[in-house]
A and B are shown apart, each in its own frame.
Chain A
């Protein structure tokens, strides 16, 4: 079945540095991918919609200059957390849809810890 791969699965970085997270659709092409953030014991909150070949659409309250999204190909979207702060520490999850299968498939998430 459709699989979404996310890398890395966990990362620790220092404050002020940037971290890049990759999301790949392994056996299908995804013109749209979604990036979520999940804090401990909370639900998934959509950060942005990544559109292949065009700009991402960010949810209200999400800083586009801080969370850079690039969807350069039909199988890869990247999220770069720039100038990371400890409060950016969270679980980041990507997802993609495999048309015509409608439900979203999720990656395994990336645990980001900013020290």
Chain B
């Protein structure tokens, strides 16, 4: 089946640092989504990308849809404690979403 390779699996950073994570696939997709999941809660949509090359920001978050349509990255600038959580990339295969393995972000104050 379709697989998304998300990296890194985990990150331990200092508050204020910038964060970068990415997602790659062997297949071409028309949509890339980035979600954040806090402990014990469902994922919340951060950014949706629909066009190759598209660069979209949401506050301190910036995501890009790779020009090859096989990858995407998410950047977080000037991290703060509430950025802690698990970040998932996702793409649409047929009617359903396929998720990456997630990037667990831990921030040291």
Question: Which A residues are in CB contact (< 8 Å) with B44?
Answer: 106
Q: Interface digits, B75-99 against A, CB 8 Å rule (1 contact, 0 not)?
A: 0000000000000100000011101
Report chain A residues within 8 Å CB of B42.
4, 6, 93, 95, 106-109
The stretch from A13-21, A43-51, A62-70, A74-82 touching chain B is A43-51
CA distance A93 to B42 in the complex (A): 6
Task: Note all chain B residues with C-beta closer than 8 A to A6.
Answer: 42
Contact (A43, B95) CB under 8 Å given A6-B42, A109-B40? no
CB <8 Å contact, A43 and B100: yes
Q: Contacting A43 at CB < 8 Å: which of B31, B33, B45, B99?
A: B99
B15-54 Cβ-contact flags toward A at 8 Å (1 or 0): 0000000000000000101010000111111001010000
Q: How far is the CA of A49 from the CA of B100 in the complex (A)?
A: 19
Residue of A nearest to B95 (CB): A49
Chain B positions within 8 Å of A4 at CB level: 42
What separation, in Å, do the CA atoms of A98 and B50 have in the docked complex?
Answer: 17
A12 and B3 alpha carbons, distance in the complex (Å):
33
Chain A residues closer than 8 Å to B45, beta-carbon distance: 103-105
Contacts of A108 in B (CB 8 A): 41-42
Structural contact, B99 and A103, CB atoms closer than 8 A? no
By a CB distance below 8 angstroms, the chain A residues around B102 are: 42-43
* A43 and B96 form a contact (CB under 8 A): no
Q: Which of A6, A43, A46, A106 counts the most B-chain CB atoms under 10 A from its CB?
A: A43
Which residues of B lie under 8 Å from residue A44 when comparing CB positions? Answer: 43, 88, 99
User: Is there a chain A Cβ closer than 8 Å to B62's Cβ?
Assistant: no
Q: Is B106 an interface residue (CB 8 A)?
A: no
With most chain B CB atoms within 10 A of its CB, the pick from A4, A6, A104, A108 is A104
Closest 6 CB pairs of A and B: A106-B42, A43-B99, A109-B42, A108-B42, A103-B48, A93-B42
Interface residues of B (CB under 8 A from A): 31, 33, 35, 40-45, 48, 50, 88, 95-97, 99-102, 104
10 A-B interface contacts by CB (under 8 A): A32-B95, A34-B97, A41-B104, A43-B88, A43-B100, A102-B31, A102-B50, A104-B97, A109-B40, A109-B41
